[in-house]
A and B are shown apart, each in its own frame.
Chain A
Amino acid sequence: MSVMAYRDALNLALREEMHRDDRVFIMGEEVGAYQGAYKVTKGLLQEFGKRRVIDTPIAEAGFVGAGVGAAMAGLRPVVEVMTFNFAVAAMDSIVNTAAKVHYMSGGQVSVPMVIRGPGGSARQLAAQHSQALEAWFCHVPGLKVCAPGTPRDARGLLKSAIRDDNPVLVIESELLYGATGEVPQAEDLIPLGVAAIVRPGRDCAVIAYSKMVREALAAADTLAAEGIEVEVVDPRTLRPFDWDTVLASVRKTKRAVVVQEGWTFCGVAAEIAAKISAEAFDELDAPVERVTSLDVPLPYARPLEAATVPEAGRIAAAVKKALYLV
């Protein structure tokens, strides 16, 4: 094991996979000479050269679409979007092409590519730069979506995503890039679609992903002081989703709180809550609670921003509600 930052774990995954497979290459704005807007691609241009680390113009529709075409023709592109806010400009290539080519070609052509970059809110970047849009992508059959919450998961999931024969979106967290954690020295593939029990507990399941895992763990710490044992489950991959692990946790604890940074309406948490309610209704001792961002564009002012995005206090309150303590 070694301790490393989330961004370095992603960098390691890229390096390892580029060494393993010559078809893997990186493309995106500022990924080369500038070393990555968030330094995830640091050193890769020097190590692999211009053929495999390609700087693009600020033209998301074009270069994401080009990534799809390159994947269709047999390469394994890793396309970096500077943030997922800008992937919106490439939505056509992602939703109408990457997700659909395999199906509408009757299985003849596949799109083995990764689209990765930071998502979610950051510090005071306001409405156009602070959005958790994963529900948009999770909605689309043909796409896979993961959202790692730790350096180890970041490396392991990105490696699996690169080896997957489908378009996979790896939505990193802008605020986690500097977060550190243990990463095994050895090869460590985290399979797509497998959740992790981050903290075991008996009283209530808290399902959270990406940087919300940290908030859930902080809530669990506070609640533990009051004698409440929360089980924190991180699905890690949002599509395909590990229902077995999540439902087992809910069946064990009889209560569930689903945390998600995105907006409430039609969000990922809505999907998870609906499934839990349908599949584990008889075993639930309380309605499933959701903790999500308020349904507003993210305000710039720091206190307003903080009141909009879920944090540990709101998660702890939701757990108490599920336990009928408030």
Chain B
Amino acid sequence: MPDDIVALYRTMLLIRRFEERAAEMYTLGKIGGFCHLYNGQEAVATGAIAALRPDDYVLVYYRDHGHALARGSDPKAVMAELFGKATGLCRGKGGSMHLFDAPRGFLGGYAIVGEHLALAVGVGLAISYRGGDQVAACFFGDGAVNGGMFHEALNLAALWNLPVVFVCENNHFGMGTPIAVAMSRPEHLHEKAEAYGMAHDVVDGMDVLAVRDRVGDAVRRARKDRTPVLIEAKTYRFVGHSMRDPAHGVYRTREELEHEKSRDPIKTFPKLLKEKGLATDEGLAEIDQEVRRIVDDAVAFAEASPVLPPEAIVEDVYA
């Protein structure tokens, strides 16, 4: 168990270091397009995915680097995908917003807000159809909750008793719009599940252990009782909406941002590990060195990899 807990820290740190380098590479022009970083939200993907089995499914939105890494995707292949290289997870055809890793049940990052909630329902339906005991975990932002698909998807999942765990990462903003400007009764987000007779829970998304435990409960319940659950993880993003935006923007103050950073799981979790005697300063430094090396290797690998040849442009349109 202690090893597991330290592993959670390692995963969160890997994501943070990965995103720091991704930002650098974006600034250097090595990564293009829209690139949405996950800084600040690491505890959500890390904790939630730790509660899943290898044969479960994961569907994600466009802020997906962290989820792929937490699911065990090779950091080299993830970075190479951001670089658009042939060695990338999707051969350079998906990019930052569309990471897929089928052997890990990682069924994609989707760039249309809310669209993939229905896909998760379909995956849940397929599990149920086959009589399997997997679950489908579906991650999305608070912005998706205001769209019609959220309600269609929750209704279907509840109506059909599907093993889908909906994880809403409430980072309090949809791009530059604070949640209170976009959502009625935002303080009751997770209770929206109530209307569908669906179990729901809210968890501190800055606390990786809490996320793992509460999502773990939801996953067990979904697996056993074949019922969907909505989990709201309250978190915060420390960076701009995408690499094209400044970190604080006009929709929040520097003070607010700095205040939220005091909850940074990368800072608070190691304190806890030390208090519990699960880690030492040296041990933590070693982990940092190790993940920095992994990320360095990923960048070097991505740099050195080729892009697909032009004839591959027309491949993969049809199966």
Contact = CB atoms under 8 A, between A and B. Distances in A.
A96 interface: yes
B67 to A, nearest CB: 15
B144 interface: no
A75 B126 contact: yes
B129 A51 contact: yes
Nearest to A56: B156
Interface in A103-124: 103-112
Interface stretch (A58-66, A226-234, A270-278, A301-309): A58-66
30 contacts: A59-B155, A61-B118, A61-B148, A61-B149, A62-B118, A62-B155, A64-B118, A65-B115, A65-B149, A65-B153, A66-B153, A69-B59, A69-B119, A69-B125, A70-B123, A71-B122, A72-B107, A72-B119, A93-B115, A93-B119, A97-B110, A97-B119, A104-B94, A106-B88, A106-B91, A109-B108, A111-B319, A112-B319, A141-B317, A142-B318
Nearest to B94: A104
Given A93-B115, A97-B115, A66 B319 contact: no
Interface string A240-260: 000000000000000000000
Which of A25, A72, A112, A165 has the most chain B CB within a 10 Å cutoff?
A: A72
Contacts of A279: none
Contacts, number: 149
A102 B315 CA distance: 10
Which of A67, A105, A166 has the most chain B CB atoms closer than 10 A to its own CB?
A105
A264 B164 CA distance: 45
Given A103-B93, A105-B90, A105-B98, A72 B152 contact: no
A197 interface: no
Given A104-B94, A108-B100, A70 B126 contact: yes
Contacts of B152: 57, 59, 61-63, 65
B100 A70 contact: no
B126 A103 contact: no
Contacts of A68: 118-119, 122
Contacts of B123: 69-70, 72-73
B317 A65 contact: no
Contacts of A57: 152, 155-156, 159
A73 B107 contact: yes
Contact of B100 (A92, A105, A142): A105
A96 B59 CA distance: 15
Interface string B92-112: 111100101110000110101
Interface string B278-319: 000000000000000000000000000000000000011111
A112 B126 CA distance: 13
A297 interface: no
A101 interface: yes
A74 interface: yes
A108 B104 CA distance: 11
Contacts of A96: 112, 115
Nearest to B149: A61
A136 to B, nearest CB: 17
B149 A62 contact: yes
B121 A65 contact: yes
A151 to B, nearest CB: 28
Closest 4 A-B residue pairs measured CB to CB?
A69-B122, A65-B118, A62-B152, A106-B91
Interface residues of A, number: 43
B121 A66 contact: yes
A106 B102 CA distance: 10
B120 interface: yes
B122 to A, nearest CB: 2
B137 to A, nearest CB: 13
Contacts of A101: 100, 108
B57 interface: yes
A199 B12 CA distance: 68
B100 A65 contact: no
Interface string B124-135: 111101100000
B52 interface: no
Interface in A86-101: 92-93, 96-97, 101
A103 B156 contact: no
Given A70-B122, A97-B115, A107-B91, A63 B319 contact: no
A270 to B, nearest CB: 22
Contact of B129 (A25, A56, A59, A64): A25
A77 B318 CA distance: 17
Interface in B114-173: 115-127, 129-130, 136, 148-149, 152-153, 155-156, 159-160
Contact of A72 (B92, B98, B101, B122): B122
B119 to A, nearest CB: 4
A104 B90 contact: yes
Interface in A73-88: 73-75, 77
Nearest to B86: A106
B264 to A, nearest CB: 32
A105 B59 CA distance: 13
